[in-house]
Amino acid sequence: MKYTAKNYEKLIGMEGFSETLLKNHFTLYQGYVTNTNKSLDSLETALKEGKTATAEYAELKRRLGWEFNGMRLHEYYFENLGGKTGLDKTGRLAKKIADNFGTYENWEKDFKATGAMRGIGWAVLYEDLSSRKLINFWINEHDVSHPAGCNPLLIMDVFEHAFMIDYGLKRADYIEAFFKNIDWKVVEGRLK
C-alpha cells in the first residue's frame, strides 16, 4: 500500500496566506509523501535481500521517521486550517482547555509563545491519553521528540517555509494569521 498525497487546494484564498506560499507548501508536503513511500520500499527490499546490517539500512530507518512525520504532520496542519468560526466556548475542547490552563487566553498565550520560540519546528497541542492532560509541546526536528502516547490536536508549522514567502522574518504576524484560520471543529473532533 502506497501513501497518496491529499489535496488541500480548498485552502487557497484563505486570509493571510498567499497562493504562492500555499502551493509551495503543498509541493513540499507531496515530497514527504513520495519519500515516505520510497523509504518504505527501499527498507522492504533491503529486508528481502538480507541487507539489514548495513549503513544504508540504518540511515533509511532513521530517515523514515523524518519523512513519515513530515507527511503526517503536514496533513494534520492543513486539515486544522480553513476554519471560519472560533472555538465553541461551550464545547468539550473549550472545557478541557479551561480545566488545564485556567482560561482559553492562558492556553493561547502559551501556544503562541511555543510557536514563537527561536528555531524551526512545530507547536503542537497534545492530549496525553494516559492522564487526559493537555500540553503544548515544542517539536523541533520532527523525527524526534514527539511525546509517546499522546494525541495531536492542533498543529502549527513554524518552519520558515510556512511563512517567509508572505511574512519574511515576522513570524508573530504569521501566527496571528494562522489563528484566524484554525478549523476548531476539526481540532475538537480529534479529542479522544
**In the chain, at which residue ranges do the beta strands (DSSP E only) sit?**
122-128, 134-139, 150-157
- Return the range that interacts with Fe ion (CB under 5 A); candidates 44-52, 101-109, 119-127, 162-170: 162-170
Site for Fe ion in 111-150 (CB under 5 A): none
| 157 lines the binding site for Fe ion (CB under 5 A) | yes
- Return the range that interacts with Fe ion (CB under 5 A); candidates 4-12, 40-48, 88-96, 161-169: 161-169
- Return the range that interacts with Fe ion (CB under 5 A); candidates 2-10, 95-103, 144-152, 153-161: 153-161
Query: Cell 544504508 maps to which residue?
Result: 56
Closer residue to Fe ion, CB minimum distance, 11 or 97? 11
Residue 121: alpha-carbon gap to chain centroid? 9
Closer residue to Fe ion, CB minimum distance, 87 or 155? 155
152: three-class secondary structure by DSSP? strand
| 75 lines the binding site for Fe ion (CB under 5 A) | no
Strands 150-157 and 122-128 turn out to be: antiparallel
| 67 lines the binding site for Fe ion (CB under 5 A) | no
**What is the nearest approach in angstroms of Fe ion to the Cβ of residue 97?**
25
**What is the C-alpha to C-alpha distance for residues 158 and 136, in angstroms, rounded to an integer?**
14
**What is the C-alpha to C-alpha distance for residues 51 and 63, in angstroms, rounded to an integer?**
17
Closer residue to Fe ion, CB minimum distance, 143 or 188? 143
Closer residue to Fe ion, CB minimum distance, 87 or 152? 152
Single-letter amino acid code for the residue at 1: M
**What is the C-alpha to C-alpha distance for residues 3 and 68, in angstroms, rounded to an integer?**
10
Closer residue to Fe ion, CB minimum distance, 116 or 129? 116
Closest CB to Fe ion belongs to which residue? 157
Give buried/exposed letters for 133-150 (b at 16+ CB in 10 A, else e): ebbbbebeebbeebeeeb
Enumerate binding residues for Fe ion (CB under 5 A): 157, 159, 162
